Chains A and B, each alone.
Chain A
């Protein structure tokens, strides 16, 4: 069972402290003026990458916790930048009943993990995997099926990542890790 290993790896005080700090930021205090200012500052591609939704998920990641009821989990690493997360799944009757994650990483990987958990919750294993394929094709700039846009929904905001090849792995790491958890692989590395 992978979880025992994961506990060791993610139980480091450093990361716990980092995340505790990030989660206690409180409500978004960004003023309308601040948003306007940021919009001016951001160049077009940069603003595609760091959209407000992504910044928000970075600040307040959803389903960010260890899942006690998990019966599947996997750890993901990006040795290049040190991104590291664990994805927990509670899989019942072949569908994702609960999903959560823990770890540390850049804004793109955190937001991608946060939104991934929202997207796959309640899905069958098969449709979670299909969504991963759609997401992967989108961020790597491959053509994706016309109906994929609909399936991807708000995950479409990650489309801007394709303009930043070195950041693609940040966005896909949580998905690779989710895929590994679904398939009982304990460790995944994007390098």
Chain B
């Protein structure tokens, strides 16, 4: 059993047929209805950034047209409207991840900023010389570089959980990394480059036996699987709005209140203070302590609207459709001679990384683009993953619930074309 129960895609009832009305769903996304290079857009770059439904666009527009003002500051009507909408989005986020309290949900620009907030607020305060921080071999640069910077500053050490050829973390090795110097664990929930769903619940439980807090990078899991931070018992959980159908500039770092309270602030400025004199500043309570300056109000309200939208269409059915797309696409691509799929973990989310013998992913990406297909070609901000598999880069198709099997067929046919061109 590799994945914790709460995070398994197979939990999403694998036997039930895919009855998803994808055409109806597609009508909710204006951007999908366009041609690229004369071909209908086939958008398969959802792991990089997902598209925004009309209701979220309208919610953002409504804010800008009718409610815009600065939050937490004014006694006037509009400021109160804006504050209510912004704090309403925080309540929505709280329910979405099942946090105990809304103040545990701090708004940030995205996953990267969330991880950096914890590195600065927790890491710089509590990590000392010769301490060890555990990360995994499949982390995104956003969950490597901040910890590396911290290690450099403090004289601490980064320890890396290895993975097997399928792209699954080696749990025995993980257990073996713990010692009295272990002070922090930072793990991705789902790998953006491989699609692996990590058994984070079990891994968190193990870290807690040593009293070590765990941060989960949820950038890829928040859009695709049900979340329950209390059940996972993670200490921090970071995710981005723009990967879950909300505008860029929205995101959340969840933290247990007990930890957030003893941490240093991240940035200093307005809105994060209780009182300021030239001698001393006292900081505001959570969550304001971590939200210096005017935030991306419209974007965060949009994130709230995106969560409402996900709840409305049914997250489980959406996940089931994505899982079926992944299964179908894996079957279609694996059948093409010369195509090798990178990341074959038993528990996978809708990310399909692949390479083709003798053809560089950038060339694949350019030719697919000529057929209107958007995929990511490159190292996916996960260069150590590429090194692990001895490849410079991969092409990656990543699916959302608005993608169709017909789009997978177009992808497969165009990949055959790519091979023909280079034959």
Q: Is the CB of B362 within 8 A of A170?
A: yes
Q: Is the CB of B383 within 8 A of A82?
A: yes
Q: How far is the CA of A82 from the CA of B37 in the complex (A)?
A: 26
A164 at the B interface (CB under 8 A): yes
Our pick among A13, A14, A17, A81 for the contact of B377 (Cβ within 8 Å) is A81
Our pick among B366, B386, B391, B417 for the contact of A41 (Cβ within 8 Å) is B417
Q: Is the CB of A82 within 8 A of B421?
A: no
Whole-angstrom distance between the Cβ of A12 and the nearest chain B Cβ: 9
Q: Is the CB of B383 within 8 A of A37?
A: no
Ranked nearest first, the 9 interchain pairs of A and B with the lowest CB-CB distance are: A106-B360, A106-B362, A14-B390, A82-B392, A107-B363, A82-B393, A46-B370, A81-B362, A106-B363
Our pick among B359, B378, B387, B421 for the contact of A42 (Cβ within 8 Å) is B421
15 contacts between A and B (CB under 8 A): A13-B390, A14-B387, A17-B390, A21-B358, A37-B420, A43-B37, A46-B367, A50-B421, A55-B422, A80-B378, A81-B379, A83-B392, A105-B392, A110-B360, A167-B362
Q: How far is the CA of A30 from the CA of B383 in the complex (A)?
A: 35
Closest to A29 in B: B423
Which residues from A are CB-within-8-Å of B379?
A: 81-82
Q: Is the CB of A82 within 8 A of B366?
A: no
Q: How far is the CA of A170 from the CA of B377 in the complex (A)?
A: 14
Q: How far is the CA of A108 from the CA of B358 in the complex (A)?
A: 13
Which residues from A are CB-within-8-Å of B358?
A: 21-22, 25, 59
Our pick among A13, A41, A107 for the contact of B360 (Cβ within 8 Å) is A107
Which residues from B are CB-within-8-Å of A110?
A: 360
Q: How far is the CA of A42 from the CA of B360 in the complex (A)?
A: 18
A114 at the B interface (CB under 8 A): no
Which residues from B are CB-within-8-Å of A81?
A: 361-362, 377-379, 393
Most B CB contacts (10 A, CB to CB) among A41, A82, A107, A164 go to A82
Whole-angstrom distance between the Cβ of A114 and the nearest chain B Cβ: 14
User: Which A residues between 60 and 99 are near B, CB-CB below 8 angstroms?
Assistant: 80-84
Query: What's the dominant secondary structure at chain A's contact region?
Result: helix
Q: Is the CB of B420 within 8 A of A14?
A: no
Given contacts A25-B358, A46-B367, A167-B366, contact A30 B423 (CB under 8 A): yes
Q: Is the CB of A41 within 8 A of B421?
A: yes
Closest to A43 in B: B370
Interface string of B340-377 (1 = CB under 8 A from A): 00000000000000000011111100110010000001
A113 at the B interface (CB under 8 A): no
A38 at the B interface (CB under 8 A): yes
Whole-angstrom distance between the Cβ of A190 and the nearest chain B Cβ: 13
Q: Is the CB of B370 within 8 A of A45?
A: yes
In this complex, how many residues of chain A approach chain B with their Cβ under 8 Å: the count is 37
Which residues from A are CB-within-8-Å of B363?
A: 50, 106-108
Q: How far is the CA of A15 from the CA of B421 in the complex (A)?
A: 23
Which residues from B are CB-within-8-Å of A177?
A: none
Given contacts A25-B358, A104-B392, A108-B363, contact A82 B378 (CB under 8 A): yes
A181 at the B interface (CB under 8 A): no
Q: Is the CB of A38 within 8 A of B420?
A: yes
A146 at the B interface (CB under 8 A): no
Q: Is the CB of A41 within 8 A of B383?
A: no
Given contacts A82-B378, A170-B362, contact A107 B422 (CB under 8 A): yes
Given contacts A22-B358, A45-B370, A106-B363, contact A84 B392 (CB under 8 A): yes
Which residues from B are CB-within-8-Å of A59?
A: 358
Q: How far is the CA of A55 from the CA of B361 in the complex (A)?
A: 15
Which residues from A are CB-within-8-Å of B421?
A: 38, 41-42, 50, 55
Closest to A22 in B: B358
Q: Is the CB of A164 within 8 A of B390?
A: no
User: Which B residues between 382 and 404 are near A, CB-CB below 8 angstroms?
Assistant: 383, 386-387, 390-393
Q: How far is the CA of A49 from the CA of B422 in the complex (A)?
A: 12
Interface string of B31-69 (1 = CB under 8 A from A): 000000100000000000000000000000000000000
Which residues from B are CB-within-8-Å of A43?
A: 37, 370
Whole-angstrom distance between the Cβ of A157 and the nearest chain B Cβ: 16
Q: Is the CB of B386 within 8 A of A82?
A: yes
Whole-angstrom distance between the Cβ of B369 and the nearest chain A Cβ: 9
Which residues from B are CB-within-8-Å of A83?
A: 362, 392
Interface string of A153-187 (1 = CB under 8 A from B): 00000000000101100100000000000000000
Most B CB contacts (10 A, CB to CB) among A37, A41, A45 go to A41
Most B CB contacts (10 A, CB to CB) among A25, A110, A166 go to A166
